[in-house]
Amino acid sequence: MRRFCVQITVYLDLVFLINFVANVIVLVITCRLLKQDIKLIRIMLGAGLGAVIILPFVIRPRMFLGVKGMMLSMGTGLGTVFVALGKRGLIKKWCLSTTIMVLMGGVINFVKYKLPNTYMGIYTLLALLFLSGTAVFVLTDWTFKRKRILNNVCSVVICHNGKNISEKMYLDTGNLLWDPLFNKPTILLSEEVVKKILPEEEMLFVKEYMINKDFNPFNPLLLKTQRNVCFHEIAYESVGKSSGKLLCFLLDEIVLADSGKRLIKQPVAVANALLFHKKEYKGLLFFDDM
């Protein structure tokens, strides 16, 4: 029986370049997802370390096999992440970066499967790395945002004027609205929801205020309804926008469905419905004591 030997030429410089670029992309995506400052020098050092350590595995692929190979792979990944991103939350960062690398590999393999006869040169592979990195970042960033939103969306029951309605509100750490008249934090509620709970006369005053932005204490509509809801104005300040005033009134009660917490005579500021357009929640809760 004749034996055939197959000679494979491995260009270590190209292997290093591809792994280095892949590591940089993965580490940058990990930084962005974890809201960590991107320090390019550390990322380049970490990516370079990972790309250099992987070269012996290319020369001797059998080193990848078994428990020893698994431990060496984990050590390489942990070392890369440690140098690039620091030791705080190292395991979490390593798990996330490994997941990103696997997803990028999946995207590249999918493209190669769909285009089996296409020659993959160095520039094509680099382009695929950037393409897969972009696709994975968009997917994971959307997933992280959805997770943050779902974790902070609360179901509430609004009780006012004999009506009970169920809505969803967002537990917003940035909601610092304060009602100085009643010395309480304030909830921001969509005009769309306010329509469901206020009588017609009170709603007429709200609509008039939302159009004119003029709080006239001698308005006949206000005088008729003031005893029930105590309409008043509160000031607000928004980052990057001009400050202003919001119409505020007292709700009889708001009950948080998950915790059962009850907010009695709770100040509520009326917001334009456009603020909550295409969002699954219709109000912003304050974070204190929630």
Judge contact between 87 and 81, C-beta under 8 A.
no
Cα Rg for the chain, rounded, in angstroms?
29
Structure confidence at residue 122 (pLDDT): 80
CB 186 within 8 A of CB 178: yes
Residue-level pLDDT at 29: 92
Amino acid at site 267: P
What pLDDT score does 89 carry? Answer: 86
Q: Can you give the pLDDT at residue 223?
A: 61
Q: Which helix (H) or strand (E) segment is 188 a member of?
A: strand 187-190
Structure tokens at 6: 């197959």
Residue 241, helix vs strand vs coil: coil
pLDDT tens, per residue, the chain with 290 residues? 555 554 555 577 788 888 899 999 999 999 988 878 888 899 999 989 888 888 877 777 776 677 777 888 788 888 889 998 888 888 999 999 999 999 998 888 888 888 877 677 788 888 888 999 899 999 888 888 777 666 788 889 999 988 899 999 988 877 888 999 889 999 999 999 999 998 888 888 888 888 888 877 766 666 666 666 788 889 887 655 567 889 999 999 999 887 788 999 999 999 988 888 888 889 999 876 55
Q: Is the pTM value of this prediction over 0.85? A: no
pLDDT at 39: 87
Q: What is the DSSP string of 248-274?
A: EEEEEEEEETTT--EEEEEEEEEE-GG
Q: Are 172 and 154 in contact (CB under 8 A)?
A: no
Phi, psi values for residue 104, rounded to 5°: -65, -40
pLDDT of residue 221: 62
Helix (H) or strand (E) segment spanning residue 156: strand 153-160
Q: CB–CB of 245/235 below 8 Å?
A: yes
From residue 30, give the alpha-carbon distance in Å to each of 104, 134, 139.
13, 12, 13
